Every structure is written in C-alpha cells, then in structure tokens.
Amino acid sequence: MQRIITYTILSGDSETSVLSFLRKNGFSKHILTTMKRAEHAILLNGHPAFGRTVLKEGDVLRILVPEENGAADNGSAASIIPVQLPESVEPDIEPENIPLDILYEDEDILVLNKPADMPVHPSAGNYENTLANGVAWYYKQQGGNFVYRCINRLDRDTTGVLVLAKNPLSGALLSAQMKQRQIRRTYLALTDGIPPERGTVSAPIARMDDSVITREVNWEHGETAVTHYERLAVSNGYSLVELHLDTGRTHQIRVHMKYIGCPLPGDFLYHPVFDRISRQALHSFQLEFCHPITKKTLRFLAPVPEDFQKAFAEKSL
C-alpha cells in the first residue's frame, strides 16, 4: 500500500539534505529508487523538493512511499514481498474469505492472532486456505492493493501473534529489527516431561538427510540456534514452558525441546502423541517491538487457545 508520511524538521536535522534525512529514517536505496519514479514523492512546505534540498528547522516534509512495482491492481490477486519468506513462495495470492482475528491495525502494520491448521503463506502444492489468502480478501473488500509482507513466520499449527508490514518502509524497518534481534518474541509451549526450571539450549540445527521438512540438531553442518526457556508450571506429566529465541531457525523450539528430552506433544514430526492435543502445543504468546514509524514500543498478546489449556489440565487415559 502507498503510504504518506509527514515529518516536521527539528533543530537536530536542520541543514541536512532531504536524502540524508530519509536515509537516517530507514529509507533504503530500493525505496528511494521507487520514489524517483513517483509523481510528487517529496514535497517540502507544499512544494516539490529533491534529494539535495537542504532542510531548515520547522520545515514540513511530506513523503510518498510508493508500493513496490508489480503490486496487484484492485480486484486481482495480491502479491508477496519475501521479507522473511522462503524462495519457494509463489508471487501471487488469490483472495479467500477467511476470517481474521485482528489484534491491531494502523497505516503501517497489521497484527493478527493466527489459528492452528493454517499456513502463513502459499507454498508448492498448497496455494489456498492460508493466512495470506485471508489477508488478501480483507484488503480486497476495502478496495485497496496489498502486498503481503510477513515479518515473523509461524509454522502451520503454531498459533498466536504475527505482524505484517503494510508498506515498503515499515517492511524494511521491521525486517531490520528482526535481523538485529530487536523484536522480542515470547512463546508458550507444553512439553512432555519436566525440563529444568530454566536454561538455554545452544545447539545448531540443520535439515535432516533425505528430508525436505524435518530438522535435527547437527553439530557438524547445523546453523547456530539458541533458545532460552523457563518452566512455569507442571500438570499431569506436562510442563508449561516460556521460551525466547535468539535465532529463528525452522522448527527451532520443537527441535530443541526434543533434544533435551522434553518434546512438544501433538508434534507430528518430532513427537506424534495425540492423546491430549491434535497439533504441536506451541503458541506465540507475545510480540514486543518498536513501531517502524512512530518509534513507540508496542506489545501484543494473543490469548492461549482452548486446546492448549485443555491439554495442560487434562489427565491422559
């Protein structure tokens, strides 16, 4: 989506060029290039300005952030910008009438509570019934173009908080926060077994030989992966564990908890025990980050799903 941002120049940015100011505020080379092709992308005090124009205290700078080239036209399929997505993602998303649980929305971000049994985005052989299809429908009903930019990816059966960027600038800034580990992710998991009260798992993860999906701890070929955990409670042989990630490897929590002997119940890949829950007991409980434009600290929580609560309280037969 196109975004118009207005800045009032403060004394610290006086005598700075427009280009330097924009770079300071996170405008990437790519975004600046798209702005060159847009009409009246830079207005200073209501008049067209250029990158070399010098700013003065009190100036009002209006910036148009254009959408990426190739974004969908009204009524057509939406498109994907792979902020955190794998290369196998298809470029177009067909809108589907899928209800969304919206926790928050403004001009720059959309925060959702993702349900279980829903992929975040289309992939080879699965182009429908994904969160991306539902988001495409949501914006189609509003008559707006939408490019899908998912910042924190969740597995198909992992529930909870997920944030999308609604324009190129917020996407670039949130992606940078993710890479710099400035987005704090808090997960809740149930484990089959009782781990130590708290600890850190630092064990590299790699794709298992002869498998496209399954991961394993692999000290020779794996990529660095660090998970911090704290046991919160124990009930009927299950532990409720809070987890924080330093890295974001595929299936990281699921692999690391299995590695220390406390796998997640209901996990079809790593611990296929379904007597108390039918999917991996993992929930993205809280997401905390700095708003890409306002710079305010935001914190979003997603209620713990009913199946998760029931599995923890229920005795196995």
Q: Tell me the catalytic residues.
A: 155
Q: Could you tell me if 164 and 105 are in contact, meaning their C-beta atoms sit under 8 angstroms apart?
A: no
| Distance between CA atoms of residues 103 and 178, nearest Å | 20
3-8 sheet: strands from edge to edge:
3-8, 60-65, 42-44, 47-48
- Give rounded-to-5 percent helix, strand, coil for the chain: 20, 30, 50
Residue 299: CB atoms within 10 Å: 11
Nearest to 188 by CA among 275, 307, 39, 19: 307
DSSP state, residue 11:
G
CA dihedral defined by 288, 292, 293, 298, rounded to 10 degrees?
Answer: 0
Q: Could you tell me if 109 and 166 are in contact, meaning their C-beta atoms sit under 8 angstroms apart?
A: yes
| Distance between CA atoms of residues 168 and 81, nearest Å | 9
| Distance between CA atoms of residues 142 and 145, nearest Å | 9
Sign of CA dihedral 127, 157, 256, 184: positive
Written as six digits, the tokens of 47 are: 């008049």
E strand intervals along 131-290: 147-148, 159-165, 184-192, 198-202, 205-207, 215-217, 226-235, 238-245, 282-290
Written as six digits, the tokens of 143 are: 């008559």
